[in-house]
Structure 1
Amino acid sequence: MGHKMTDVRDMQRVIISPSTRFFTETVEVGRISPLSFFEAGASQYKDKRFYWQNADKTLTLVGIGHAYILANGKTDGRFEDISDQWKQLCSILIKEEKDIDPVLFGGFSFDEDNRKVSEWDGFPSGYFVVPSFQLKIEEGKTLVSINMITNRKEAAADFERLREERDKLIHIAQVEEFDFANQNQIIATIERGKKKYLKAVENATDSIRKGKADKVVIARAIELQFEHDVNSVKALHAITNEQQESYQFGLQIGDSLFFGATPERLIEIKNGKAYSACVAGSIRRGKSAQEDRALGEELLGDRKNREEHQHVVSMISNIFHKYCSEVLIPKAPKLMKIRDIQHLYTSVEGTLGKENDIFSFVQALHPTPALGGVPTDVALEIIRQEEGMDRGYYAGPIGWTDASGNGEFAVAIRSALLMSDRAYLYAGGGIVADSVPELEYDETWVKFRPVLRALGGKLNG
């Protein structure tokens, strides 16, 4: 299994040289369902697709094909490396006023120092693609771009072929009737290392009581086996219906699809402004509106949850003060209610400094206390020692940036890795001094629920 990690570099056929050029062209088209466009690419580009929709549904991106891949296997400098490669590509971009910016989409592993031989072997430390065909739906407009990075003399003929391909993809997406209904038969649910997980929670609690850390996030995984291979687009369709107030994402690498619906934004940059959100501290939803309100009030007044939330606010505000001018942070958290759970939420905003880009923020903000712990370095050491699994891209940063420096990254939780007839689901929780292993275990099932439902699974209660 371990042999796949290096394959990613081989896929970059274009060597950036003085003669390399980056062309883009955009056409506006009539309404297209983004998932139909994603599926239109299935026959030729099954392994080369991505999907993104932001939490408030104002932006959807779909990528088909690879104009270029930026990847690395680094533990140190992995964020700067992707940033530098992207800047280099953008410096050779040729575009007209009417053409929209090319997009770079991808993600980073949670902790490159803790990789093990696992289902994540095909996923390098950082992996980003410039799609050959890029669908962007924003402000009621549906735009399709072609991106081509080439040092071939026959560039004009190559581009003409891409135009034909683009028209074909648009036609398929607009005309074909796709069936997105999910009929997955789960034949087995395998709990991976339940005993190890309970022991890890116990040991983490012990370390916290001894004063080594304030909070450590311990995660676990389950494996689902299906009767047949699960179709990527059906899984994405189901998850987009599942979690309305979340970021929906899908990243295909080889025959694996990493997908999910996460409520947690890491960073957004729009027109020189940076935005983040602190989400930490949670409680279940109520059976009635009245019970829901009472639970919300309980959460807002709960000392343990408020402290946990404050850790996150302090950390994120420190980073914003370092990279931004004019930072705005509300004094008290609000409630963020999603289908299965409600969280404490505080927004953060700042004006971006010239020398920083979205990758500076991703590097500084990852891992957040909500997915690593407090203090970060101690928490990561405890996770490496106790958790016993490779998180891969689970809880890592996933998102996009464009040639103008806009972009958005979310934290890849409520997610799963889909491989043919298997899926690996991941969930974790913040362990503090008074955590009870069995209760933490029960809470992971609440967090598995959205993805489990999307894959056709049933949970009791």
Structure 2
Amino acid sequence: MKQNFTTVLEKNIEIKKEHVRFFTETIEVARISPLSFFEAGDSHYNNERFYWQNADNTLTLVGIGHASVLTSEATDNRFKEISTKWEKLSAALIKEDKDMEPVLFGGFSFDPESVKDSEWNEFPSAHFVVPSFQLVIKNGKTTISINLVTESENAVFQFDQLRDERDRLIHIAQVNDFNPSVKPTVLSIDERAKENYIQAVTDVTNQIKNGEAEKVVIARAIKLNFENEVSAVSALHHISNEQQESYHFGLQKDGQLFFGATPERLIEVTKGRAFSACVAGSIGRGKTAVEDRELGEELLGDNKNRVEHHYVVDMISRVFNEFCTDISMPKMPKLMKIRDIQHLFTPIEGKLEKGVDIFSLVEALHPTPALGGVPYETSKMIIREKENMDRGYYAAPIGWTDTLGNGEFAVAIRSALLDGDKAYLYAGGGIVADSEAKNEYDETWVKFRPVLRALGGKLNG
């Protein structure tokens, strides 16, 4: 295998030096824990790792190191900018048929024009990475790929070094103990601008009653202070262990980890077909099966939640009608039940029109009314005025795509930004004409709960 691939490399050395070349090589390995592989990169790549697992646990991705970083500071064309850069890089790919497709992983900020001096200062409008070492667990098969993006004439030597490093990482992941069973110790929880949030909900409710908008999502944040620094792998271990029905994600940058467990898929593209999910409207879980069923029935029949859900269904179906054919969507919502909350849920799928890529859909779908509002331009201005915080990557698209155009993005809710011995947690809710500030405030605590519990915090003390 090494000899054959080295020959492939050598054949392409004659390309002019200024031309970028993108090489990849894949080996199959015995199944190893993805979090053990993530942790294996801690000492050398502490700020250059990502983690992803889809909701049905059929795909897990771990990236270590940066073969290439694609970013954008743009406000208007950031989706197209990342798409164009990835298309150009993908065109330079040199691989054998048996090798896995390289993956690009990352996310966008919620609103690049609302940036304030905040904990999100190190995160640009868009941040995506191609990992040097890419673990993929798909349908029970585990592979590890090396990705090299280079203009150097010494590509063969560089790749040999990467092979040695890949073997070192695999060895650490397979033989070292990994058991982050103890949760962090929380010293205190700070509610950030609680009074501002309560007033914002009241003001926005009145604006909606006055006809200025139909729905506006208002979010808030809390800050956890820990006794010691919290490791990235510990946070990912606990959130993925406790929220098994959700998408799990983690993206490191400059000493921080943005992570979470979201129930909401924004878009998936597989072999030319697109899949999305309309998720809006929520209620808590019952203490018993009977109570849980009663709450679910209450949610299905609740006018406020059904209206919220309709906004999302209407918007996503319009996007699919623009970009897809052969569209399928049920007429009535179902219940999506996860550990701490249940949502109204309507799936939708269709066949992509020619020339449409996943970033086109991400741009068209972000933000859905479940995270922004209706109409969006009006709600966006209200959010900037009333929310008084930088959402950063919270409630924004995070996910991956590959060089064939397949990929999946989720909406980064139920999330937090971990920064050493502190973490910032985010939650929000849709405000409509009959919203009540106290009920909305209480609902944010339900949405804080998954990440709060994973980080060792408790509600009501």
> SS at the partner of 2:391?
coil
- Aligned runs of 1:374-385 on 2, under 5 Å? 374-385=374-385
Tell me the equivalent position of 1:323. 323
The Cα shift of 1:17 comes to 7.3
Tell me the equivalent position of 1:155. 155
The Cα shift of 1:183 comes to 3.4
The Cα shift of 1:243 comes to 0.8
> SS at the partner of 2:286?
coil
Say whether the 8 Å CA contact 1:399–1:410 is kept in structure 2. yes
Tell me the equivalent position of 1:343. 343
Tell me the equivalent position of 1:425. 425
Tell me the equivalent position of 2:3. none
**CA RMSD after TM alignment:** 1.1
- Aligned runs of 1:8-19 on 2, under 5 Å? 18-19=18-19
The Cα shift of 1:103 comes to 0.1
Aligned partner letter, 1:407:
G
- Aligned runs of 1:118-133 on 2, under 5 Å? 118-133=118-133
Tell me the equivalent position of 2:207. 207
Say whether the 8 Å CA contact 1:182–1:455 is kept in structure 2. no
> SS at the partner of 2:44?
helix
- Aligned runs of 1:113-262 on 2, under 5 Å? 113-262=113-262
- Aligned runs of 1:19-30 on 2, under 5 Å? 19-30=19-30
Structure 2, unaligned stretches of length 5 or more? 1-15
- Aligned runs of 1:92-131 on 2, under 5 Å? 92-131=92-131
The Cα shift of 1:270 comes to 0.5
Number of residues of Structure 1 aligned to a counterpart in Structure 2: 446
What percentage of residue pairs aligned between the two structures are identical? 65
The Cα shift of 1:296 comes to 1.0
CA distance in 2, matches of 1:292, 1:429: 21
CA distance in 1, matches of 2:271, 2:87: 17
Say whether the 8 Å CA contact 1:182–1:238 is kept in structure 2. no
> SS at the partner of 1:43?
coil
Say whether the 8 Å CA contact 1:53–1:249 is kept in structure 2. yes
Deviation string, structure 1 residues 274-332 (Cα, Å, up to 9, x no partner):
00000011111111111111111111112221111111111000000100111111111
Structure 1, unaligned stretches of length 5 or more? 1-15
> SS at the partner of 1:426?
strand
CA distance in 2, matches of 1:383, 1:183: 34
Say whether the 8 Å CA contact 1:182–1:235 is kept in structure 2. no
The Cα shift of 1:19 comes to 2.2
The Cα shift of 1:18 comes to 4.8
Tell me the equivalent position of 1:76. 76
The Cα shift of 1:180 comes to 1.3
Aligned partner letter, 1:197:
Y
When normalised by structure 1's length, the TM-score is 0.96
Deviation string, structure 1 residues 108-137 (Cα, Å, up to 9, x no partner):
000011000000000000000000000000
Tell me the equivalent position of 2:388. 388
CA distance in 1, matches of 2:81, 2:443: 37
Aligned partner letter, 1:22:
F
> SS at the partner of 1:287?
coil
CA distance in 1, matches of 2:194, 2:17: 51
Deviation string, structure 1 residues 197-240 (Cα, Å, up to 9, x no partner):
01110111011000111110000001111111101100000000
Q: 1:17 to 1:449 in 2, by over 3 A?
A: farther
The Cα shift of 1:377 comes to 0.9
Matched, 1:334 2:347: no
Deviation string, structure 1 residues 411-451 (Cα, Å, up to 9, x no partner):
00000000010100000011111111111111111111110
Say whether the 8 Å CA contact 2:17–2:152 is kept in structure 1. no
CA distance in 2, matches of 1:264, 1:338: 11
